[in-house]
C-alpha cells in the first residue's frame, strides 16, 4: 500500500507514510563539487554483471503483464504462478505458500444525498472510463470500495470531520458538535484510513465517507490551470482512492488469526476487533463537492475549528463542520465476507551459510486492474533482479548467504500475506534472518526515498553511490547525489507495507522506492489511473527510474548476501538514539508528568560501548583474517536487534514488539520513536505506565547490547 508522499510541508501530505520536506526545488541538479568519487561509479566485476543485466525494455514487459489483469488479493493464482515460474526460469527454487484468510469483496454500494428541500443527489461512485487508458474500460475492473469494510446501511445527517484523527473529532465535540448518530465525512490524508473509520465508530457515528481532495496536490490542480489526467499532471477529478479500513495499528495480518498462521482448520478469532463495525465508502473529489457544499455555512467554520489539514481546495467549498445543515446521507455498503486462499510466491537460492538468510519482498496484489506503481513497479523490478542474479550465477557464483524472494498476496487488506508467512516461519526467521528488504511502490515519481533500521543506514547510503541515476535533465548523477540533494534523510519505519511483520520481530529492515515532488505528476494512488498508461506517459516514461531502483535493490541484496562482513552496523543506532531521546525529552517536558529517563540514558550508554567494542572486534577479525571470529561477529550483527523487541508487545497491541519504533496508534503509517514511553504519555496519559515503559525499553536496549557483547 505504501502511500505516496507528496510532500508539501506547508499543506500537509497525502495519506503518507512519513511527511518529507524537499531540500531542493531545482529540476536540474549538479554533481556536488565536494564529490571526489569517479563517475560513472567504479564497480567490481560481479556488481558490473548485475547492473548491466538491467534493461528498461524488459522491465516494461513485466510491468505490462502485471497491469493487464485483475489481481485483487486471493483472486489471481495464475499471476502468482507466473511470478514463481519466472523466478524458477532464473534459477530460484520456487513455490507457492498458501494461506486461508478472511477477506471481503465488494458486492454493491450506493450513496444518496438528500437536501433539506427534499431533492436528492446520487453520486455514481465510479471513475471515468478513459479512451487513452485501456485498462480503465476492462469489463472486470474493480469497483470503488474499502477492503475489510462493514456490510450495512446508514441514513443520517452528516458532519465534516477533517482528516479524521482523534483530535479532529475531539475538537468538534469541544465546539459542541454532536457526533453520535451522524455520518462522518472525512478527507483522505494524515492517518491511515481505517483509523478515520475507527475514530468515527468509537464516537457512536453510523458510517464514514472518505473523499480525495485536490488540496493535497499543491499547485498541480485544475484550479491552478494544470490539465487533469489523461491530458496533464493534475488528478483526474473522478479519481477514487480504494484501500483497506482495517485498524492497522492494532495488528496487521489476517484479522481472524492474531499472532498465529492462517491454515485451514486454524481456530478463528472475532475479526471485529480490527475491522470496522460501521460501513464506509471512498469517493472522488468531484462527487464529494456537492456533499461538502451542502454543509457550507453550517456549524463551526474551518477557521474556528483550526485543525491541521482541515481545509482543502475543492472549489466552492468552505469546509464548515456542517452540523445543523439539515442535509442527510443514505449509504449502503454490501460486501461478501469470506475465507479465501492467498498465494505468496517464494523463490530461494541456497547460500553457503544457510543460517544466514536475506529476504527481499514485494506485494503483488492491487486494488485495481492496473497497479503500475502500487505495487507492480516493485514486482517488475523483482523479475529483473532475478534475471540479473541468473547472469551472475552463470559465472559459477554462489551466494554466501541464502537469498529468499517473496511476492506477497493480500498486502493491501492489511499486510496479510507477509504477516501470515512470518507467523509460519518465525522460528527459522528468528534464528537465521539477517535482513528484510522491502520494495512496494518502486516508482511513482523520480525522487529516491528510503527508510531503514539504523544498522542499515551505512550500507543503504554506500550502495546509492554505486548507482547511475538519470534524473530529469541532469546528467552524471548517482542515486546518492539525487537523494542527498533532494532528501538526505533515511526515514524511520512506521507501517503501511510488508516490512512491518519482520521489523517487529527484531529483523533489520529497509523500505525503498522513488516518488514525486510538488512539481511532478500527481500519483493516482489506489485508483484505476495507477495504470500502465499513466506510468508510461507520466510516472516513469521509458522505465528509467525503475531501472535505477532495481539496480539499487539488486546491489544492496548482493552485498547483504555476499560480503564477508555482514553489512549491518549496530553503531548506526547511536546517533539515532540521541535524536529519539531529544524528542522524548521534549515530550516529557511538555507533559505534566515527572518521568525519570535515567534508566534509558544509562542503557543507551551501555549499548554505545557494546556497539563500539563490537565494531573494534569485527575490524580485528577482518584484519587478522580470523574466519571463526568473523562468523561470531556476523551472527551478533544478525541477532542483536532481536533484543529490541518486548515479548508482550507494546501497550494494548501485542503484535507490535519493537520498543524503538512503531506506527503511531492514531497514525497507522507514521512512526513514533520509543513508542511504549511516548504513547503512554501522549495517548494513554498515564505517567506510571510511561515510567514502566522507560524500564522495559531500557531492558530491551540492554539485551541488544548484551547480544553484541557475548
Ligand atoms: C574522498 O574524500 C573523502 C574525504 O575527504 C576520503 O575519505 C575518501 O577516501 C575519498 N575517496 C576517494 C575515492 O578518493
Ligand atoms: C491474472 O493476471 C493476468 C496477468 O495480468 C491476466 O492475464 C489474467 O487475466 C488474470 N486472471 C484473472 C482471473 O483475472
Ligand atoms: C434543493 O436544494 C438544492 C441545494 O440547495 C438545490 O440545488 C435545488 O435546486 C433545490 N431543489 C428545489 C426543488 O428547490
Ligand atoms: C505554488 O506556487 C506558488 C506560486 O508560484 C509558489 O510560491 C509555491 O511555492 C508553490 N508551491 C509548491 C508546493 O511548490
Ligand atoms: C490555532 O491553533 C494554533 C495552535 O494549534 C494556535 O497557535 C492558534 O492561535 C489558533 N488560531 C486560532 C485562530 O484560534
Ligand atoms: C461470496 O464469495 C464466495 C466465494 O468466496 C462465492 O462462492 C459466493 O458466490 C459469493 N457470494 C456473493 C453474494 O457474491
Ligand atoms: C536448499 O537447502 C534446503 C535446506 O537445507 C534443502 O532442503 C534444499 O534441498 C536446498 N535446495 C537446493 C536447490 O539445493
Ligand atoms: C528537460 O528540458 C526540456 C527543455 O528545457 C524541458 O522542456 C523539459 O520539461 C525538461 N524535463 C524535465 C523532466 O525537467
Ligand atoms: C559526464 O561524465 C562523462 C564521463 O565521465 C564526461 O565525459 C562528461 O563531460 C560529463 N558530463 C557532464 C555534463 O558533466
Ligand atoms: C530535557 O529537557 C529539559 C527541560 O526542557 C532540559 O532542561 C534538558 O536539558 C533536556 N535534556 C536533554 C538530554 O535534552
Ligand atoms: C497540565 O496540567 C494543566 C493543569 O491541570 C492543564 O491545564 C494542562 O492541559 C496539562 N497539560 C497537559 C499537556 O496535559
Ligand atoms: C553496563 O555494562 C557494564 C559492562 O560494560 C555492566 O557491568 C553493567 O552492569 C551494565 N549496566 C547495566 C545497567 O546493565
Ligand atoms: Zn502497496
Task: State yes or no: pLDDT of 16 exceeds 60.
Answer: no
Compute the distance from residue 319 Cα to the ligand 3 centre, in Å. 20
d(CA 197, CA 569): 40
Q: Which of 196, 101, 214, 112 has its CA nearest to residue 146?
A: 196
Output the pLDDT for position 29: 81
Task: Find the mean pLDDT for residues 168-174.
Answer: 98
Beta-bridge mates of residue 343: 98
Given a cut of 50, is residue 427 above it in pLDDT? yes
Mean pLDDT in residue range 56-84: 98
Looking at residue 272, what DSSP letter applies? G
Instruction: Indicate whether 651 pLDDT > 90.
Output: yes
Region 337-363: mean pLDDT is 98
pLDDT value of position 14:
30
Per-residue pLDDT tens over the stretch 181-231: 999 999 999 999 999 999 999 999 999 999 999 999 999 999 999 999 999
pLDDT at 5: 42
Q: How many CA atoms lie within 13 A of 391 on its CB side?
A: 19
In whole angstroms, give the CA distance from residue 225 to residue 221. Answer: 7
**What was the pLDDT predicted at 8?**
34
pLDDT in tens, 85-140: 999 999 999 999 999 999 999 999 999 999 999 999 999 999 999 999 999 999 99
Select which of 109, 146, 533, 658 is catalytic.
658
Task: Return the best residue to mutate from 61, 79, 82 for the ligand 2 pocket (most ligand atoms within 8 A of CB).
Answer: 79
Q: What is the tens place of the pLDDT at every residue in 456-497?
A: 999 999 999 999 999 998 889 999 999 999 999 999 999 999
Cell readout for 611 is: 556497539
Helices 45-52 and 544-562: crossing angle in degrees, nearest 10, is: 150
Is 356 a known active-site residue? no
How confident is the model over 24-36, as pLDDT tens digits? 556 678 777 566 7
Asked if residue 544 has its Cβ within 6 Å of ligand 8, the reply is no
Considering only CA atoms, which of 603, 617, 612 is closest in space to residue 660?
603
Say what the pLDDT of residue 12 is: 28
CA count, 13 A, side-chain hemisphere, 572:
20
Task: Check residue 6 and give its pLDDT.
Answer: 38
Residue 148 has pLDDT above 90, yes or no: yes
pLDDT digits (tens, 9 = 90+) for 255-266: 999 999 999 999
Give the per-residue pLDDT at 368. 97
pLDDT tens for each residue of 268-301: 999 999 999 999 999 999 999 999 999 999 999 9
CATH architecture classification, 572-709: Up-down Bundle (1.20)
Q: Is the pLDDT of residue 22 over 60?
A: no
Task: State the catalytic residue, choosing from 78, 598, 609, 619.
Answer: 598
Q: In the prediction, which pLDDT does 464 show?
A: 97
Mean pLDDT of the chain: 95
User: Does CATH number 3.10.20.30 belong to domain 104-337?
Assistant: no
| Residues 652, 656, 660, 663, Cα dihedral to 10° | -90
Q: Which atom of ligand 8 is nearest to the CA of 473?
A: 1
| The pLDDT of residue 31 | 77
Q: How far apart are CA 228 and CA 129, in angstroms?
A: 14
Protein residue closest via CA to atom 8 of ligand 12? 606
Query: Taking the domain 2-101+338-562, which CATH number applies?
Result: 3.40.630.10
Sign of CA dihedral 160, 166, 171, 174: positive
Per-residue model confidence (pLDDT) at position 125? 98
**Model confidence at 39: pLDDT above 70:** yes
* Strands of 202-272, DSSP E: 207-211, 243-244
Find the 607 Cα to ligand 12 centroid distance in Å.
Answer: 9
- As a whole number, mean pLDDT of residues 628-646 equals 98
Question: Which residue minimizes the CA distance to atom 7 of ligand 1?
Answer: 36
All CATH 3.40.630.10 domain ranges in the chain, comma separated: 2-101+338-562
- How many angstroms separate the CA atoms of 436 and 418, rounded? 11
Residues of the chain with CATH 3.50.30.30: 104-337
Average pLDDT over every residue of 396-412: 98
Of all residues in the chain, the percent with pLDDT exceeding 90 is 93
The band of 621, judged by pLDDT with boundaries at 50, 70 and 90, is: very high
pLDDT at 33: 59
Sign, Cα dihedral of 439, 444, 448, 454 = negative
| 450 C-alpha to ligand 13 centroid (Å) | 15
Question: What percentage of residues in the chain have a pLDDT greater than 70?
Answer: 96
**pLDDT at 543 > cutoff 70:** yes
Residue from 338, 413, 657, 487 nearest 22 by CA: 487
CA of 323 to the centre of ligand 11 (A): 29
Among 448, 490, 491, which residue's Cα sits nearest to residue 470?
Answer: 448
Sign of the CA dihedral with 693 first, then 682, 22, and 375 last: positive
For residue 530, is pLDDT > 50? yes
Report whether pLDDT(527) > 60: yes
Whether 271 is a known active-site residue: answer no
pLDDT confidence of residue 18: 38
Instruction: Sort 111 into a burial class: Cβ within 10 Å, 0-12 / 13-18 / 19+.
Output: buried
Burial, 286: exposed, middle or buried (Cβ in 10 Å; 0-12, 13-18, 19+)? buried
Active site residue 411: yes
- Ligand 7 pocket test, candidate residues 87, 92, 350, most atoms within 8 A of CB: 350
pLDDT average, residue stretch 625-632: 97
Positions of CATH 1.20.930.40 in the chain: 572-709
Torsion-angle region of 94 (φ positive above 0: left; ψ -120 to 50: alpha; else: beta): beta
Amino acid at each position: 500500500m505504501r502511500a505516496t508522499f507528496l510532500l508539501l510541508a506547508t499543506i500537509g501530505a497525502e495519506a503518507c507514510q512519513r511527511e518529507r520536506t524537499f531540500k531542493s526545488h531545482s529540476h536540474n541538479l549538479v554533481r556536488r563539487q565536494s564529490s571526489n568519487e569517479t563517475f560513472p561509479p567504479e564497480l567490481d566485476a560481479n556488481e558490473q554483471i548485475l547492473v548491466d543485466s538491467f534493461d528498461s525494455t524488459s522491465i516494461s514487459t513485466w510491468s505490462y503483464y502485471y497491469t493487464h489483469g485483475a489481481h485483487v488479493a486471493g483472486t489471481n493464482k495464475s499471476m502468482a504462478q507466473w511470478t514463481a515460474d519466472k523466478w524458477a526460469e532464473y534459477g530460484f527454487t520456487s513455490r507457492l505458500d498458501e494461506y486461508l484468510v478472511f477477506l471481503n469483496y465488494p458486492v454493491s454500494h450506493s450513496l444518496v444525498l438528500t437536501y433539506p428541500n427534499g431533492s436528492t443527489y446520487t453520486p455514481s461512485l465510479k471513475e471515468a472510463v478513459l479512451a487513452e487508458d485501456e485498462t480503465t474500460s476492462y469489463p472486470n475492473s474493480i469497483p470503488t470500495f474499502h477492503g475489510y469494510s462493514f456490510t450495512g446501511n446508514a441514513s443520517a445527517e452528516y458532519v465534516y470531520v477533517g482528516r479524521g484523527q482523534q483530535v479532529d473529532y475531539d475538537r468538534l465535540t469541544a465546539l459542541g458538535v454532536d457526533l453520535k448518530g451522524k455520518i462522518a465525512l472525512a478527507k483522505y490524508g494524515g492517518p491511515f484510513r481505517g483509523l478515520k473509520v475507527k475514530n468515527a465508530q468509537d464516537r457512536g457515528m453510523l458510517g464514514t465517507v472518505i473523499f480525495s481532495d485536490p488540496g493535497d496536490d499543491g499547485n498541480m490542480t485544475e484550479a491552478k490551470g494544470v490539465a487533469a489526467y489523461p491530458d496533464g499532471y493534475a488528478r483526474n477529478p473522478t479519481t477514487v482512492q480504494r484501500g483497506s479500513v482495517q485498524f492497522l495499528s492494532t495488528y496487521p495480518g489476517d484479522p481472524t488469526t492474531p499472532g498465529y498462521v492462517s491454515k485451514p482448520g486454524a481456530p478463528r478469532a472475532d475479526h471485529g476487533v480490527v475491522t470496522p463495525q460501521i460501513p464506509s465508502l471512498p469517493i472522488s473529489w468531484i462527487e464529494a463537492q456537492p456533499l461538502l457544499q451542502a454543509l457550507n455555512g453550517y456549524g463551526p467554520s474551518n477557521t474556528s475549528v483550526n485543525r491541521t489539514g482541515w481545509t482543502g481546495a475543492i472549489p466552492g467549498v468552505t469546509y464548515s463542520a456542517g452540523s445543523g445543515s439539515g442535509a442527510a446521507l443514505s449509504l449502503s455498503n454490501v460486501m461478501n465476507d469470506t475465507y479465501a486462499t492467498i498465494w505468496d510466491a517464494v523463490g530461494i537460492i541456497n547460500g553457503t551459510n544457510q543460517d544466514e538468510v536475506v529476504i527481499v519482498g514485494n506485494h503483488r496484489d492491487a486494488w485495481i486492474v492496473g497497479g503500475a506503481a502500487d505495487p507492480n513497479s516493485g514486482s517488475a523490478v523483482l523479475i529483473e533482479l532475478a534475471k540479473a542474479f541468473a547472469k551472475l550465477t552463470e559465472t559459477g557464483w554462489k551466494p554466501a548467504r541464502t537469498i529468499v524472494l517473496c511476492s506477497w498476496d493480500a498486502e493491501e487488506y492489511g499486510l496479510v500475506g507477509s504477516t501470515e508467512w512470518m507467523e509460519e516461519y518465525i522460528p527459522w526467521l528468528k534464528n537465521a534472518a539477517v535482513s528484510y528488504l522491502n520494495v512496494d511502490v518502486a516508482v511513482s515519481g523520480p525522487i529516491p526515498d528510503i527508510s531503514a533500521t539504523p544498522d542499515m543506514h551505512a550500507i543503504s547510503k554506500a550502495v546509492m553511490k554505486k548507482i547511475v541515476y538519470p534524473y530529469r535533465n541532469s546528467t552524471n548523477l548517482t542515486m546518492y547525489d539525487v537523494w542527498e540533494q533532494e532528501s538526505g534523510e533515511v526515514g524511520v519505519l512506521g507501517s503501511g507495507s510488508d516490512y512491518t511483520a519482520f521489523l517487529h520481530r527484531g529483523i533489520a529492515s529497509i523500505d525503498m522506492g522513488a516518488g514525486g515532488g510538488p512539481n511532478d505528476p500527481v500519483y493516482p494512488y489506489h485508483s484505476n489511473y495507477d495504470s500502465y498508461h499513466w506510468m508510461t506517459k507520466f510516472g516513469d516514461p521509458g522505465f528509467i527510474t525503475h531501472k535505477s531502483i532495481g539496480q539499487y535493490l539488486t546491489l544492496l541484496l548482493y552485498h547483504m548476501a555476499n560480503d564477508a562482513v555482514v553489512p549491518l552496523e549496530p553503531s548506526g543506532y547511536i546517533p539515532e538514539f540521541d535524536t529519539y531521546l531529544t524528542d522524548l525529552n521534549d515530550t516529557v517536558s511538555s507533559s505534566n508528568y515527572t518521568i525519570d529517563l535515567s534508566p534509558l540514558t544509562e542503557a543507551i550508554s551501555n549499548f554505545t560501548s557494546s556497539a563500539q567494542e563490537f565494531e573494534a572486534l569485527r575490524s580485528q577479525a577482518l584484519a587478522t583474517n580470523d574466519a571463526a571470529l568473523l562468523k561470531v561477529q556476523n551472527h551478533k550483527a544478525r541477532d542483536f536487534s532481536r533484543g529490541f523487541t518486548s515479548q508482550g508487545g507494546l501497550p494494548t497491541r501485542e503484535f507490535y514488539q519493537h520498543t524503538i519504533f512503531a506506527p503511531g496508534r492514531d497514525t497507522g503509517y507514521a512512526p513514533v520513536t520509543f513508542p511504549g514511553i511516548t504513547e503512554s504519555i501522549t495517548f494513554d496519559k498515564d505517567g506510571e505506565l510511561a515510567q514502566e515503559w522507560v524500564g522495559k525499553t531500557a531492558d530491551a536496549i540492554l539485551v541488544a547490547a548484551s547480544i553484541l557483547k557475548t
